[in-house]
Amino acid sequence: MKHLLIIITLITCLWANAQVPKNVIVELFTNSRCSTCGALEPGIMNTIQQYPNLIQIAYYPSAPYSSCFFSQQNKTEYDGRTKNYAIYGSTPHVLVQGVEVNNMLDTASINAYLNQLSNFEIKIVHEKTSSTTAQFNTTIIKKAIDNTTQAKLYLAIGEDSVSYAAPNGINKHYGVMRKALTDSSGMEVLLPVNVGDSLVISKNYSTSGTWNHSLLTGFAFLANTTNKSIINANKQKLNIGTFSGVESHQSTDQLSLYPNPIANGFINVNSAIETDFIIADMAGKTVQKGILRKGENQIRLSNSSPGVYLVKSNNRSIRFSIN
C-alpha cells in the first residue's frame, strides 16, 4: 500500500509538471533598399525553410534607408521593435529566441535552440469577427513549477508572403509584420502562479483591405523581462470563416489584368461588367479611380511611383507592381 501511494504521488507530480516544447522564433530585421540584405536574404530564407515548425517574422526599420517600401507603411512599429533590441541603424540583423546571431543564419544558430522545453504553453485563437475586423486571443498556461512571475508578451499580425520587386533584388518577402497589437517591447504580464492556471489576453484589430487576409498569421512571443530571451512562442493563421469581404486578391473571371509587373505606364484590365474601380497603394491611399467598361480596358497610370498597388472593383482586388 505504501509503495502504491508513492507511485501515485510520483505520477501526480509528473502530470502536474509536464513541460511543453519551446517553439523557436527567428526575427529578421531587413530593408527593401539594403543591398546587403538582398545578398543575404535568400540564404537566410533557405535556412529557415529547412525547419517547417520554425516561427519567422520580418521587420523593416527606416534605417539605413527611410525610403524602404515596407518601412513607409509602418515606420513607428518597425523602428520600435528594432530599438527594443538596440540594433536600430543598420540591416540586416537576425535574432533567434531573442538573441542576435550571425546575419547569415546558418543551421548551427538554429540547432542550438531545438528540442528545448518550456514551463509555459501558449495557445492562440485567431478569427475574423467581420469583413474588416478580427480577434486575437492568447492563452498562457503554466505547465510546470517556475519562479518567474512577470514577462513581456509581444503580439503582432503578419502576412505570410508579399510579392514586391524590391530595389535590392528580393521579389518575395516572407513573414512581413503588418500590425503590432502591443507595445514594440511587449506588454507586461503577471504570469499564472500555480501549475495549471492560465492567463487570457484578448485583442481586437482592424484588417486592411490592402492585405491578403487569407495569408494573415498572428504571432505571440513571451519573453523574459531581463534579457529578452524567449520563454515560449506560438503563431496561428487567421480563420476567415464566412467573412470573405474585400480580402480576395486572386484573379477571377470577373476581373483580370496584365502585364504584371508593369514597366511602360499602362495596365490592361478585363472586366466582366461595367463598374467603378479604384487603384490604391499598400497604405490604402487611393491614387486613381474611374470606370471600367465591360471587356478590356487600357488604363494609363498617372504619377504612380514604383511599388505594389491594388486594383479594386466590384468587391474584388488584384495586386500588381510597378517597376
Q: Which three cell numbers, joined as nine digits, stand for 274? A: 461595367
The domains of the chain, with CATH numbers, are 20-237 (2.60.40.10), 255-322 (2.60.40.3080)
Helices (H), 49-120: 75-84, 107-111
Contact between 295 and 254 under an 8 Å Cβ cutoff? The reply is: no
**Pairing between β-strand 275-281 and β-strand 286-292 as defined by DSSP bridges:** antiparallel
Query: What was the pLDDT predicted at 308?
Result: 81
Contact between 59 and 29 under an 8 Å Cβ cutoff? The reply is: yes
Query: What was the pLDDT predicted at 251?
Result: 38
pTM: 0.74
- How many helices and strands in the chain, by DSSP H and E? 4, 21
Q: What is the DSSP string of 138-186?
A: EEEEE-S-----EEEEEEEEEEEEEE---TTS--EEEEEEEEESS-TT-
**Pairing between β-strand 187-190 and β-strand 198-206 as defined by DSSP bridges:** unpaired
Q: What is the dihedral of CA 205, 207, 208, 209, to 10 degrees?
A: -160
Is the previous residue joined to 92 through a cis bond, with omega within 30 degrees of 0? yes
Neighbours of 238 (CB within 10 A): 22
Nearest to 119 by CA among 216, 20, 199, 201: 20
Contact between 231 and 149 under an 8 Å Cβ cutoff? The reply is: no
Contact between 189 and 201 under an 8 Å Cβ cutoff? The reply is: yes
Q: Compute mean pLDDT per 10 residues along the chain, 323 residues long, and list them.
A: 49 63 98 97 96 97 95 96 97 97 94 97 94 93 96 97 93 96 96 94 91 94 96 95 51 66 80 83 82 83 78 78 79
Q: Is 6 left (phi over 0), alpha (psi -120 to 50) or beta?
A: alpha
Contact between 150 and 190 under an 8 Å Cβ cutoff? The reply is: yes
**Pairing between β-strand 25-29 and β-strand 55-59 as defined by DSSP bridges:** parallel
- Residue 191 CA, chain-centre distance (Å), reads 25
Q: What is the DSSP string of 31-72?
A: -TT-HHHHHHHHHHHHHHTT-TT-EEEEE--SSS-TT-TTGG
Contact between 50 and 107 under an 8 Å Cβ cutoff? The reply is: yes
Cα angle 61, 205, 89; round to 5: 10
Q: Which three cell numbers, joined as nine digits, stand for 239? A: 480563420
